[in-house]
């Protein structure tokens, strides 16, 4: 695994790659993995280029090879999240129903929390069924900022 850290419009961000796929995005408050080689590769450079364009409002869809590690349930949630269009939201219940497990609302929330690729896999687009913003690993201020940015684009 290789990790590159850069300052962005949302603060310091780390992006990791392994086997030519982006595997993790770390926010400033996240713990970084120990013993990981730091440096920039062509893929990490491209990942930051796309992230910065997105944060500037110039990109709506990422085109990066992603590899997220998780259970089959988490994978199903993350695959669905990737289909939520930029500028729109879905409730945790909507996600649970869409993946064929309508009682798994809390499990959807846990899968969101464990998403290793926030922003690239847009878990910030999932909100409470009452329309309120709830949990986000990057914090609710960042979640609101990302949703507002996407609505403006």
What are the domain boundaries of the chain? Answer: 2-56, 72-150
Structure confidence at residue 56 (pLDDT): 96
Question: Is 123 known to be catalytic?
Answer: yes
Give, for all 153 residues of the chain, the pLDDT tens digit.
999 999 999 999 999 999 999 999 999 999 988 889 999 999 999 999 999 999 999 999 999 999 999 999 999 999 999 999 999 999 999 999 999 999 999 999 999 999 999 999 999 999 999 999 998 989 999 999 999 999 987
CA dist 84 and 103 (Å) reads 20
Write down the pTM of the prediction. Answer: 0.93
Structure confidence at residue 30 (pLDDT): 93
Structure confidence at residue 106 (pLDDT): 95
Structure confidence at residue 96 (pLDDT): 97
Structure confidence at residue 135 (pLDDT): 87
Q: Under 8 Å CB-to-CB from 42, ≥6 apart: which residues?
A: none
Helices (H), 62-139: 72-81, 92-98, 105-113
Structure confidence at residue 148 (pLDDT): 96
Q: Would you say 94 and 135 are in contact if contact means Cβ atoms under 8 Å apart?
A: no
Structure confidence at residue 113 (pLDDT): 94
Q: Under 8 Å CB-to-CB from 1, ≥6 apart: which residues?
A: 16, 17, 18, 23, 33, 36, 37
Structure confidence at residue 101 (pLDDT): 94
Q: Under 8 Å CB-to-CB from 2, ≥6 apart: which residues?
A: 16, 17, 18, 36, 37, 38, 39, 41, 44
Structure confidence at residue 153 (pLDDT): 73
Of the candidate CATH numbers 3.40.190.10, 3.40.50.2300, 1.10.10.10, 3.30.70.1290, the domain formed by 72-150 belongs to 1.10.10.10
CA dist 77 and 55 (Å) reads 24
Structure confidence at residue 7 (pLDDT): 97
- Catalytic residue selected from 3, 123, 127, 142: 123
């Amino acid at each position: 695994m290789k990790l590159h850290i850069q300052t962005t419009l949302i603060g310091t961000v780390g992006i990791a790659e392994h086997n030519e796929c982006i595997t993790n995005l770390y926010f400033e408050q996240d713990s970084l993995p120990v013993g990981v080689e730091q440096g920039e590769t062509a893929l990490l450079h491209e990942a930051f280029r796309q992230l910065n364009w997105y944060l500037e409002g110039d990109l709506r869809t990422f085109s990066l090879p992603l590899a997220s590690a998780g259970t089959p349930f988490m994978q199903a949630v993350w695959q669905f999240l990737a289909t939520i269009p930029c500028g729109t939201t879905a409730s945790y219940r909507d996600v649970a129903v869409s993946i064929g497990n309508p009682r798994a609302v809390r499990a959807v929330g846990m899968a969101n929390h464990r998403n290793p690729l926030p922003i690239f896999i847009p878990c910030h687009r999932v909100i409470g069924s009452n329309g309120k913003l709830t949990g986000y690993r990057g914090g609710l201020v960042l979640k609101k900022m990302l949703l507002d940015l996407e609505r403006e684009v």
